[in-house]
Amino acid sequence: MSATPSKYMNRRKLMIRIRQHALYYVLIGFALVWTLVFQFLPMAGIVMAFQDFDIIKGFRGSPWVGFKHFIEMFRIDPLRRAIVNTIYYSVLKLFFAFPLTIIFALLLNELTNMTFKRIVQTVSYLPYFLSWIAVVSLFYSFFELYGPLNDLRLRLFGPDTPRVNILMEPRYFTGIMFWSHVYKEIGWGTIIYLAAISGIDGQLYEAAVVDGCGRFRLVLHITLPGIMPTIVILFIMQAGGLLNANFEQIIGLQNLYTRESSEVINTIVYRYGLQQGKFSLATAFGLTQGVVSFIIMFVVNRISKSLSGVGVW
């Protein structure tokens, strides 16, 4: 019976509270307007994947074509190759670069001299603070025909050794991609693991030592299980990026000789969309990539939750 007046009172109270907070709404308004314009409007722009989008006619004037571009895209050979490349590169990073970071963190943790440890850490952060194009530039100079690597090869194998232009050879691209990724990210990537390790209860180690565990078994039985939740979460987050190659890295490393064999989905979207003006087709690629990525992330998270109880959400 008294529901109506109290509801009315509540609403009045709410209005008063909102009025009291008016200035806060102005403050958050900047971020909200920004999100609407720069994030949600492009999402609406996805409709162009279902149109024959023409930049002069705009969204209203361009004809609707349904799933034409989604059917067409699977007939394009370079795209098929790009999908294979993208997955290949991601799998390499996930199953080889990812464990390397953990191993590096564990080895750092075994250093007993704190000053030395800090120096190693600081040095290993260096590439992280360089832009991708700077790292690419370093790699180009290092692997050049007359760069340090070829100099070293000549010194090791004698002056008759032919100089190789590693960066112009398609077959070396994957290796360069992988190691430049490791070079740039491995040092910085250890921070989160080292933090997780320092969060492990010291009594566990003491108890294990009493039970006769040596140093290696401590790592195996205490440290690794202790950081397992961190490992799982980072793994899920990376697995979600299975279809997402690093655009900056690939576009930077590619050159005329290696481009064709090293295209990934992101770079194909760039070439078809921005360089050739096939906006709708490229949007269809991008949309498919986004949807599939989301599903992968969701599935991996589910699997992890049911197996280990750890999930990102």
Partner 1 sequence: MSGNEQETANYSSSPSRGRRWKTSERVFNVFNITLMILLCIIFIYPYVNQLAVSLNDSNDTALGGITVYPRVITFENYNMVFSNSMFTSALFVSVVRVIVGCLSGLFVTYSAAYALSKQSLPGRAFFTTVLLIPMFVSGGMIPTFILYRMMGLMNKFPVYILPYLFGFYNMIIIRTFLRTIPESLEESAMLDGANSVDIMFRIYVPLSMPVIATIALWMAVFHWNDWTSTLLYVQSKSLHTLQFMMYRLLKESEVMMQIAADRARQGLASGEDVPKITPESLKAATLMVSTIPIVVVYPFLQKYFVKGIMIGAIKE
Binding positions for partner 1, 268-297, rule CB under 8 A: 269-270, 273-274, 279, 282-283, 286-287, 289-290, 294
Q: Which are the contacts of 302, defined by CB distance < 8 A and separation ≥ 6?
A: 311
Q: Per rule CB under 8 A, is residue 38 in the interface with partner 1?
A: yes
Kindly indicate which of the ranges 4-12, 50-58, 91-99, 300-308 contains the residues binding partner 1, using the contact rule CB under 8 A.
50-58
Stretch that binds partner 1, among 1-9, 93-101, 219-227, 300-308 (CB under 8 A): 219-227
In angstroms, what is the minimal distance from the CB of 245 to partner 1? 13
Binds partner 1 by CB under 8 A, chosen from 198, 306, 307, 309: 198
Nearer to partner 1, 131 or 308 (CB): 131
Q: Is residue 157 a contact residue for partner 1 (CB under 8 A)?
A: no
Taking each helix axis as running N to C, give the angle between helix 22-35 and helix 3-20, from 0 to 180 degrees, rounded to the nearest 10.
80
Binding residues for partner 1 restricted to 104-143, rule: CB under 8 A: 104, 107-112, 114, 116-127, 129-134, 136-142
Question: In angstroms, rounded to a whole number, what is the distance separating the alpha carbons of residues 196 and 223?
Answer: 9
- Residue choice 9, 46, 91, 228 for contact with partner 1 (CB under 8 A): 46
Distance CA 299, CA 289 (A): 15
Contact between 56 and partner 1 (CB under 8 A)? no
Least distance from C-beta 236 to partner 1, angstroms? Answer: 13
- In three-state form (DSSP H/G/I as H, E/B as E, the rest C), the secondary structure along the chain is CCHHHHHHHHHHHHHHHHHHCHHHHHHHHHHHHHHHHHHHHHHHHHHHHHECCCCCCHHHHCCECCCHHHHHHCCCHHHHHHHHHHHHHHHHHHHHHHHHHHHHHHHHHCCCCHHHHHHHHHHHHHHHHCCHHHHHHHHHHHHCCCCHHHHHHHHHHCCCCCCCCHHHCHHHHHHHHHHHHHHHHHHHHHHHHHHHHHCCCHHHHHHHHHCCCCHHHHHHHHHHHHHHHHHHHHHHHHHCCCCCCCHHHHHHHCCCCCHHHHCCHHHHHHHHHHHCCCHHHHHHHHHHHHHHHHHHHHHHHHHHHHHHCCCCC
For residue 97, state whether it binds partner 1 (rule: CB under 8 A): no
Nearer to partner 1, 2 or 165 (CB): 165
Regarding 301 and contact with partner 1 (CB under 8 A), the answer is no
Q: Is there binding between residue 215 and partner 1 (CB under 8 A)?
A: yes
Please identify, using beta-carbon distances, which residue of 104 and 173 lies nearer to partner 1: 104
Choose one: 72-80, 94-102, 199-207, 299-307; the region binding partner 1 (CB under 8 A).
Answer: 199-207
202 binds partner 1 (CB under 8 A): yes
* Span from 46-54, 63-71, 94-102, 170-178 in contact with partner 1 (CB under 8 A): 46-54
Q: Is 89 in the site for partner 1 (CB under 8 A)?
A: no
Beta bridge partners of 51: 64
- Asked if residue 242 binds partner 1 (CB under 8 A), the reply is no
**Is residue 228 close enough to count as binding partner 1 by CB under 8 A?**
no
Q: Which is nearer to partner 1, 6 or 39 (CB)?
A: 39
User: Does the protein bind partner 1 through residue 2 (CB under 8 A)?
Assistant: no
